[in-house]
Every structure is written in C-alpha cells, then in structure tokens.
Amino acid sequence: MVIFWRLLLSHLLADFTLQFNVVNKLKRQHVGGMLLHCLTHFVVSVALAYNYLGDVWFCLGPAAVTGWTALGLMLVFHFIIDELRIYGMKRLGYRDGTASIIIDQFLHVYVLFMISPIFATGSGFFMAEKWVGITSIFVLVTHVTTVMVYFVEKDLFGTEYPSSDEKYFLIFERIVLWFFFFTAGWWWLPFAAAWAVQLFYIRWKRIMDLSLTNILLSLGMTSLLGLWARYIYFG
C-alpha cells in the first residue's frame, strides 16, 4: 500500500493545496489551464513515487505496466474526469455542489487504487507510512475540509466561498484541535473538548460569523481525522 498512499498524498496536494484560485479558474476556461493542473498532479506524483517508478505496478494481460506508464494513465484519466465534470456543468447544467465534488474525488481515488500495486489488505490498508499518512490527513484537515464545508453550505444556504480571514481562522482552529489527538494517554480528550466548546463560544459572541453547520462539520471531520492520525501515529 506504500505506493497508493503516496499517490493519494500527491493527489490531495495537487487537487487542493496546490490548486490555487487562478489555476481553478484557468482549468474551467481553457484546456491549457486543465493541462497545467493535471501536469502539476503528475509532477508531484513523480516526486513522491520516484523510487518505485521503474517497478512493475500491475499487468494488463501479458503486458507489465511500470510506474512511469501507470502515472501516464493517471494523467490521462485525471484530465478526462475533470473535463467531464466541467462539461457537465457548462453544457448539461449539472450543479457544482457537494455531490459533484464527492463523485469527482471518488473517481480520482478509484483510479489511484486501480493503478497501484496492492500488497496489504485488512487493517494494514489504513496504516500508511507514518509521514505520508499524517501529511495526507493534515491536508484533509486543512484544505479538503475547507472545500467540503464550503460546498455543503453552498448547497444549503447559497453561501459564497469564505473570505481569507474566515478560511484561515477555521484552518487554525482545526489544526489546534487535530494536534490534541497526538497527545499520549487520555489527557487529549478534555483539551480537545474544551477547544471545541470555544468554537461555539466564538459563534455565540459573534466574534466570527460562523454557521452551526460549519462548526459541526469542522469539528466532526477533524475529530474523525484526528482519530485516524492517532491510529497511524501510535500504531
């Protein structure tokens, strides 16, 4: 599962952390922007899986597919999936909402799973290399959760993408809560609970205009990801 988790990390970095607003706009306007986005994903994947690219990852009948060829297939499928999503929104009138991004991400991760050599199942599936797993979860806690909360609020309330102040404030809140899960023993529980309560206090005092949906989703996703990170960290 080493290669799969490294490819997943590269996907999270390229599709969220490194997909700046300008890149997101360009890929929706022109095929050149889409190629830039997909090539970013390819380059990050090469960097993280470089030591394994000469190995055979899977076979198609008698043909042995090495890492380089597998990443070439990943590049093609990533381009197709993203282009189909944009085509659906522009030409077919599909809503760019929560369902759209969940389907999009499922297809991307499914492709990564299919091109990766799978050597472990069961409990080992969720036990990535420590640094890869924790870095992946960090991206999930920060940028991926920001995007998912935005789409849910957009579907429910028509909310615009959060301002920089709100976005980075909530990222900071989630990171601090997430870090409590790395504390040994059980002391992390009261500290994490207290930190969660202060988010409700911030909303009650109108220090930051946060919806209850935003807070509950942020706390829920961070807590689940924190437990997963704790599992990887402490084994």
**Pair (123, 10) in one structural domain:** yes
3-state helix, strand, coil in the chain (%, to 5): 75, 5, 20
**Pair (31, 77) in one structural domain:** yes
Q: Report the run of H or E that residue 64 belongs to, with start and end.
A: strand 63-66
Q: Long-range contact list for 101-107, CB < 8 A, 24+ apart?
A: 101/147, 101/148, 101/151, 105/15, 107/81
**Pair (41, 95) in one structural domain:** yes
pTM over 0.75, yes/no? yes
**Pair (161, 122) in one structural domain:** no
Q: Report the run of H or E that residue 85 belongs to, with start and end.
A: helix 67-90
- For the chain, what is the domain count? 2
Who contacts 32 (Cβ-Cβ below 8 Å, separation ≥6)? 26
**Pair (167, 97) in one structural domain:** no
Is 100 exposed, middle or buried (CB count within 10 Å of its CB: 0-12, 13-18, 19+)?
middle
How would you write the pLDDT of the chain (235 residues) with one tens digit per residue? 789 999 999 999 999 999 888 888 889 888 999 999 999 999 999 999 999 999 999 998 899 999 999 999 999 999 999 999 999 998 888 888 999 999 999 999 999 999 998 754 444 555 668 999 999 999 999 999 999 999 999 999 999 998 888 899 999 999 999 999 999 888 889 999 999 999 999 999 888 888 999 999 999 999 999 999 999 999 7
- In 99-219, the DSSP E strands lie at none
**Pair (101, 177) in one structural domain:** no
Who contacts 169 (Cβ-Cβ below 8 Å, separation ≥6)? 208
34 within some domain: yes
**Pair (109, 16) in one structural domain:** yes
Out of 94, 128, 162, a domain closes at: 128
**Pair (9, 116) in one structural domain:** yes
Domain that residue 187 falls in: 151-234
**Pair (115, 159) in one structural domain:** no
